[in-house]
Amino acid sequence: MEKKSLKNQETFVSEEEKTLVWENVQNSFEKNFGTEVYSSWLKNINLLKEYNDYLVLGVPTRFFRDWIVSRYLDKILAQLKTFKNSINRVEFKILEEHKINSQDTFKIDDFNKVTEIKDSILNYNRLNPNLNFDNFVSGSSNEIALSSSKKVCEQISRYNPLYIYGGVGLGKTHLLNAIGLELDKKTNVMFISAERFMYHFIKSIKKNDMVNFKDFFRKSSVFIIDDIQFIRGKEGLQEEFFHTFNSLIDKSSQVIISADRAPMKLDRVQERIKSRLSGGLVVDIDAPDLDLKVKIIKKRLEDIQSQFKESSNISDEVISFIATECKTNIRELIGVLNRIVTFSRIHKKILTTSDCKNILKDVFNQAKIITVDKIQNTVSNFFNIPIAEMLSQRRSRPLARPRQIAMFLAKKMTTRSLPEIGRRFANRDHTTVIHAVKTITRLSEKDDEMKKNIDQLRSLLLEE
Ligand code: ADP
Ligand code: MG
């Protein structure tokens, strides 16, 4: 028998060599994801082609693919690996390609396969009373965003929309929530994440209930939508958002939006939406400086003290240690502080810096295990492109850059060798990985945007 060349990149598995019995895989999906997720989503996945290292799976619609990729891909891959360890990626093929052109021409039939998901799966975005203006600490990195938010509360539709953007964990949701709480006292506020907006959208299409959907979102006097970057690449959703947005602005409802980047940087979002988003006031939140971090820690400690009616055992030295070590993410800063406070309370001990170093070893030493899979998933979610496309041989920049960034992070954040990394990226050569690492290193030195993206990705990967 002829030996198969190992260099062959994509060895298609012939009928008799097939190892996967799709029915068994499906059963394991049901067991591991629960009946609800299974029957709503995973049941509708078909196996189209089996290769040695990847599968081509069929899904009914683009929505389906986006939804599955953004929430379940990691787990699906892990599950597939238990059946066949050589699988390192999946590609999705959309079986009923269709395009939603306007809000009146939805093809309901396309969505009939979307079984209803219980509301409990995605939490409702109710306003959180703990995220208010009183406990939002101001500093030079956020004071413009804070004062603009307060002004909107004083005089509705003076800046319309108000668009707040910034990196992960810098206080965007906190500010949006604070605005919501303030305005909720006098008027009708809708506060929702873009992801949840999409959930309602799909549900209404399925139930043939778009009229209620439109009413529901268009009747509010204040419409706050968090993490709008979620609409990137989702045509139908953008279309609906655009109409909702216009009708709100037309009747002078206040619209407040947050995102992880400036409006014009929202790639794969229609131009008319981008320009609408920039049409009011655009403000950003930057990474906190040392001073703000110290202020936030002190404020938290005061709150904890008054809550537990005990004096804090945290010294100034420890405070400045935490503030220096936590570089940008305020969520992480608070997490670290909580750990230290808890430790000190349990052990009734005044902690030194070196105690803290020990307690936080796992946080700061990055003892966390980061895998190439995890990097690929995080990067593909971040840039909102399917993993299969990121790993494909296509060379267009919107795919090639994320691919290079993922290779760069794999080199920097795992102990894998260059050839190993190459193999994990659809059998590329190690020289391709070297080139990627060099390119991204060079770009992140001279391009602020690239540097910011890399920083954000790193902190996403290090988050718990
Ligand atoms: P984002 O939405 O930008 O990712 P969040 O609003 O969720 O960030 O903030 C992350 C955490 O940090 C929250 O617990 C929030 O209360 C806290 N936080 C952020 N900025 C501040 C601030 N200026 N003062 C007090 N707490 C803050
Ligand atoms: Mg947020």
CA 420 – CA 430 distance, rounded (Å): 8
Mean predicted confidence (pLDDT) in 270-287:
96
Is 303 part of any domain?
Answer: yes
pLDDT at position 116: 31
Share of the chain above pLDDT 90, in %: 50
Q: Is the Cβ atom of 261 under 6 angstroms away from ligand 1?
A: no
Distance 169 CA to ligand 2 centre (A): 7
Mean predicted confidence (pLDDT) in 63-90:
83
Is 118 part of any domain?
Answer: no
Q: Is the Cβ atom of 298 under 6 angstroms away from ligand 1?
A: no
Distance 127 CA to ligand 1 centre (A): 14
Question: Confidence band (pLDDT; 50, 70, 90) for 357?
Answer: confident
Q: What is the CATH number of the domain that holds 423?
A: 1.10.1750.10
Token readout for 314 is 């945290």
Residue 17 has pLDDT above 50, yes or no: yes
Q: What is the CATH number of the domain that holds 152?
A: 3.40.50.300
pLDDT at position 107: 35
Contact (Cβ atoms closer than 8 angstroms) between residue 195 and residue 122: yes
Instruction: Say if residue 99 is in the same domain as residue 202.
Output: no
Is 134 part of any domain?
Answer: no
Is 130 part of any domain?
Answer: no
Instruction: Say if residue 390 is in the same domain as residue 303.
Output: no
Is 433 part of any domain?
Answer: yes
Residue 101 has pLDDT above 80, yes or no: no
Our mutation pick for probing the ligand 1 site, out of 150, 164, 170, counting the most ligand atoms within 8 A of Cβ, is: 170
Instruction: Say if residue 179 is in the same domain as residue 259.
Output: yes
Instruction: Say if residue 341 is in the same domain as residue 433.
Output: no
pLDDT at position 362: 59
Our mutation pick for probing the ligand 1 site, out of 179, 330, 464, counting the most ligand atoms within 8 A of Cβ, is: 330
Mean predicted confidence (pLDDT) in 38-59:
86
pLDDT at position 229: 95
pLDDT at position 366: 46
Q: Is the Cβ atom of 456 under 6 angstroms away from ligand 1?
A: no
pLDDT at position 91: 83
Q: What is the CATH number of the domain that holds 298?
A: 1.10.8
Instruction: Say if residue 209 is in the same domain as residue 318.
Output: no
Instruction: Say if residue 16 is in the same domain as residue 73.
Output: yes
pLDDT at position 73: 83
Q: Is the Cβ atom of 177 under 6 angstroms away from ligand 1?
A: no
Last residue of a domain, one of 285, 305, 335: 285
Q: Give the residue from 321, 319, 329 showing the smallest Cα distance to 297.
A: 319
Residue 121 has pLDDT above 50, yes or no: no
CA 141 – CA 166 distance, rounded (Å): 10
Domain span holding position 321: 290-366
Last residue of a domain, one of 61, 93, 111: 111
Residue 365 has pLDDT above 80, yes or no: no
- When mean pLDDT is compared over 59-68, 301-310, 427-436, the highest value belongs to 427-436
Phi, psi of 426 (to 5 degrees): 55, 45
Instruction: Say if residue 279 is in the same domain as residue 187.
Output: yes
CA 141 – CA 456 distance, rounded (Å): 17
Is 136 part of any domain?
Answer: no
Question: Confidence band (pLDDT; 50, 70, 90) for 109?
Answer: very low
Q: Give the residue from 302, 299, 287, 341 showing the smallest Cα distance to 318.
A: 341
The count of structural domains within the chain is 4
Question: Confidence band (pLDDT; 50, 70, 90) for 68?
Answer: confident
Question: Confidence band (pLDDT; 50, 70, 90) for 134?
Answer: very high
Residue 113 has pLDDT above 80, yes or no: no
Last residue of a domain, one of 230, 252, 285: 285
Is 133 part of any domain?
Answer: no
Token readout for 344 is 């000190």
Instruction: Say if residue 80 is in the same domain as residue 39.
Output: yes
Q: Is the Cβ atom of 146 under 6 angstroms away from ligand 1?
A: no
Mean predicted confidence (pLDDT) in 379-404:
93
CA-proximal residue: ligand 1, atom 4 (nearest): 169
Is 219 part of any domain?
Answer: yes
pLDDT tens-digit series, residues 166-180: 999 999 999 999 999
Q: Give the residue from 388, 402, 424 showing the smallest Cα distance to 58.
A: 388
Instruction: Say if residue 376 is in the same domain as residue 362.
Output: no
Instruction: Say if residue 160 is in the same domain as residue 254.
Output: yes
Instruction: Say if residue 318 is in the same domain as residue 265.
Output: no
Contacts of 123 (CB under 8 A, 6+ apart): none
pLDDT at position 217: 87
Q: Relative to the CA of 333, which ligand 1 atom is closest? A: 12
Q: What Rg do the C-alpha atoms of the chain give, in angstroms?
A: 24
Q: Is the Cβ atom of 178 under 6 angstroms away from ligand 1?
A: no
pLDDT tens-digit series, residues 204-223: 888 888 888 888 888 889 99
CA 403 – CA 376 distance, rounded (Å): 8
Distance 332 CA to ligand 1 centre (A): 10
Q: Is the Cβ atom of 297 under 6 angstroms away from ligand 1?
A: no
Instruction: Say if residue 80 is in the same domain as residue 6.
Output: yes
pLDDT at position 142: 98
